[in-house]
């Protein structure tokens, strides 16, 4: 289990985000469903299918407590990534048989059912799934719930981006996404040499922005309250850049151009490799 984390409660955000996704989908003309997205080779319809898949999986495994099919032995992080990618790809292939209207109707139902479940879920209980990108082998429920919310929000944003629909209506949702996503930093920095007193301050500008500080305790990197100490390095970016960076929606060159660094580059630059998803 990782060090104690500042708890973020995302339970009441599932419903309004799902509603905004479905509302947008019902307005899309047929050509928008085949537009490319920043999610690799996935088109809009593939991202929608993935949202449906993950909602149904969460309801089945967490709400209804069915036992997930056992995967082949996973002996490394690479094996785990390959397993997740194969799982996702199988559903995307099957969803080719479904029309946009059917996908939308199914997601409207699944998204509402998932919101019902999440709104009544406990924050304190052990999570069914550990948050692997944070290095966890076990997680508290609030963190796994938050991870699920970040999945829905960032895939919804990929759809909105692809069809030029602008941002979601409530900046609080992205702020919650960032609060969850920044917990990836200590694990991502685990191999970055450090010593007590070294720190990275991350300033995110915009309506969903804030300030996060990663500091070395002498034993490991941890997210901490900023305090009054001057950071060893500072990174500044907008909230739009932040979510794209953490959710693999920026090319390396675009990321390097979009984040402004000051101070020690050995402490700042590894930030460009941090991801809050399984990749």
Using pLDDT thresholds of 50, 70 and 90, give the confidence band for residue 228.
low
Alpha-carbon distances of 186 from 192, 197, 220, 235, rounded to whole Å: 10, 15, 8, 16
- Across the chain, mean pLDDT equals 94
Residue 2 in this model has a pLDDT that exceeds 60: no
Q: Is 192 helix (H, G, I), strand (E, B) or coil?
A: coil
Alpha-carbon distances of 255 from 23, 162, 166, 176, rounded to whole Å: 31, 19, 20, 22
The boundaries of every CATH 3.30.1050.10 domain in the chain are 185-273
For the segment 19-33, the average pLDDT, to the nearest whole number, is 98
- pLDDT for 70 equals 74
pTM for this one?
A: 0.94
- Options 2.60.40.1730, 3.40.50.800, 3.30.300.30, 3.30.1050.10; CATH for 185-273 is 3.30.1050.10
For the segment 57-80, the average pLDDT, to the nearest whole number, is 87
For the segment 153-157, the average pLDDT, to the nearest whole number, is 98
Looking at CATH, the fold of the domain delimited by 11-169 is given as 1.20.120
Give me the helix-helix angle, 141-162 and 14-25, nearest 10°: 20
- pLDDT for 46 equals 98
CA distance 269 to 271: 5
Residue 185 in this model has a pLDDT that exceeds 90: yes
Residue 104 in this model has a pLDDT that exceeds 50: yes
Using pLDDT thresholds of 50, 70 and 90, give the confidence band for residue 258.
very high
Residue 251 in this model has a pLDDT that exceeds 70: yes
The boundaries of every CATH 1.20.120.450 domain in the chain are 11-169
Alpha-carbon distances of 65 from 57, 61, 115, 121, rounded to whole Å: 10, 5, 17, 14
């Amino acid at each position: 289990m990782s060090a104690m984390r500042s708890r973020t409660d995302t339970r009441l955000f599932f419903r309004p985000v799902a509603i905004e996704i479905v509302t947008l989908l019902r307005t899309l003309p047929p050509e928008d469903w085949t537009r490319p997205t920043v999610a690799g080779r996935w088109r809009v319809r593939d991202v929608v299918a993935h949202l449906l898949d993950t909602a149904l999986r969460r309801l089945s495994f967490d709400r209804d407590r069915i036992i997930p099919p056992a995967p082949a032995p996973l002996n490394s992080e690479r094996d785990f990534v390959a397993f997740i990618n194969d799982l996702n790809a199988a559903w995307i292939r099957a969803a080719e048989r479904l029309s946009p209207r059917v996908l939308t109707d199914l997601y409207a139902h699944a998204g509402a059912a998932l919101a019902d479940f999440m709104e009544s879920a406990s924050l304190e209980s052990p999570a069914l799934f550990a948050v692997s990108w944070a290095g966890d082998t076990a997680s508290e429920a609030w963190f796994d719930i938050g991870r699920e919310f970040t999945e829905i929000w960032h895939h919804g944003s990929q759809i909105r981006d692809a069809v030029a629909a602008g941002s979601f209506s409530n900046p609080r949702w992205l702020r919650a996404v960032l609060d969850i996503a920044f917990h990836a930093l200590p694990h991502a920095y685990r191999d970055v040499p450090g010593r007590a007193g070294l720190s990275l301050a991350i300033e995110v500008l915009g309506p969903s922005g804030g300030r996060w500080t990663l500091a070395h305790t002498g034993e490991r990197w941890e997210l901490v309250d900023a305090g009054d100490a001057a950071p060893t390095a500072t990174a500044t970016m907008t909230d739009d850049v932040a979510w794209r960076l953490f959710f693999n929606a920026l090319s390396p060159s675009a990321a390097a151009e979009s984040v402004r660094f000051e101070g020690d580059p050995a402490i700042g630059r590894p930030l460009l490799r941090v991801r809050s998803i399984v990749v």
